[in-house]
Amino acid sequence: MVRLTVDLIAKSINHKNHKEESFSQYLRKATHLNVSNKNIDAIGDLSLCKNLNVLYLYDNQIRRIHNLDFASNLKHLYLQNNCISRVENLISLKKLEKLYLGGNCITLIEGLDKLEELRELHVESQQLSLGEKLLFDPRTLHSLAKSLSVLNISNNNIDELQELAVLQNISHLIAVDNQLQLIQDLEFVLNKWTKLCLLDLKGNPVCHKPKYRDRIIVQSQTLESLDGKEIKDMERQFLMNWKASKAARKKSKERMTSDFFETGHPIVPVHHNSSVKGKSDLLILSELHRSANNRKEPPQRPEEESSINEKIRHLILKDSQSSLPKTDIFEPHLLHQMSL
């Protein structure tokens, strides 16, 4: 059991170059304190270190965050690779800008509601139970929405990012080796993250989706690096042109569909003899139906049938008369023979 105290600090640092001042005076002026990898399992009274800006406590055996109320000027706190299971007792660190908690046993990111200056949060590789994933307290997320710009959540079995969409100021997201699968989930948050310039998702199933990189680049206009590879202007411009062309084809298809619902019939192209003037290149199928229907003769009534027969006999007689020479039609004897 090793407890972090002033005495331990005195043994750990070289104070030989500060003979003109006491150790207590030295601690009061100190802005950086490195007590990493000292097998420390608890934080004791460090109230003399009121001017600390940076505190290194990584690679120890610390189980609980406490006794840091004195550090009102602390800006960077390194607590990665310890045995911490809960984020707590940080409310007094009003000026904290960077918090490193990777490699602990944390299951829920909470207790950061009052840290309005926090810009970086590193919570990668928590020691989670099988099937467990890292969760976020909505109150903490909303509290960090305007300040947080760098977030590292790698290797935490995370399968979706939508709850992180509230982080409107995020510029760097590192989420490698998680369980992200839906590209639609990524497109949703990318639409919210208008300041994102670096995104690293290596080791997630979504990286194997068709056109994964293309769709991410098209969705985020500010992104400069994806999965460790720079996004060049030429690549983005090409993909934007591809997206515009695809949108134009979709719009054209929707317009044709709209025309169908407005007329009730599809409009299709037809071929015709180019020598015939006045023909249209488009044909409404309903007109074909009407043409077919017009060719159907309605059933005839008896009196109509009699009138038609009379007209036929008249035409036959007229045709017979027209077949004779004109000079013979007016000769009575020929007319008499024809009537026989």
Give me the pLDDT at residue 237, please.
86
Handedness of CA 225, 227, 232, 237 (dihedral sign): negative
The model's pTM: 0.72
pLDDT at 329 (0 to 100): 41
Amino acid at the residue 319: D
Q: Is 234 helix (H, G, I), strand (E, B) or coil?
A: helix
Domains of the chain and any CATH numbers: 3-243 (3.80.10.10)
Question: In this predicted model, what pLDDT tens digit does every residue of 222-266 receive, in sequence order?
Answer: 999 999 999 998 888 888 887 777 777 777 777 777 666 666 555
| CA distance to 2, 32, 35, 42, per residue, from 38 (Å) | 8, 16, 6, 11
The pLDDT score that the predictor gives to residue 315 is: 58
Question: Within a 10 A sphere around the Cβ of 255, how many other Cβ atoms?
Answer: 10
Q: Map tokens 């000769």 to a residue.
A: 331
Residues of the chain where predicted confidence (pLDDT) is lower than 70: 14-20, 258-340
The amino acid present at 92, given as its one-letter code, is S
Residue 266 has a pLDDT of 54
Look at residues 117, 113, 89, 85 and name the one whose alpha carbon lies nearest to residue 101: 85
Q: What are the pLDDT digits (tens) for 123-169?
A: 999 999 999 999 999 999 999 999 999 999 999 999 999 999 999 99
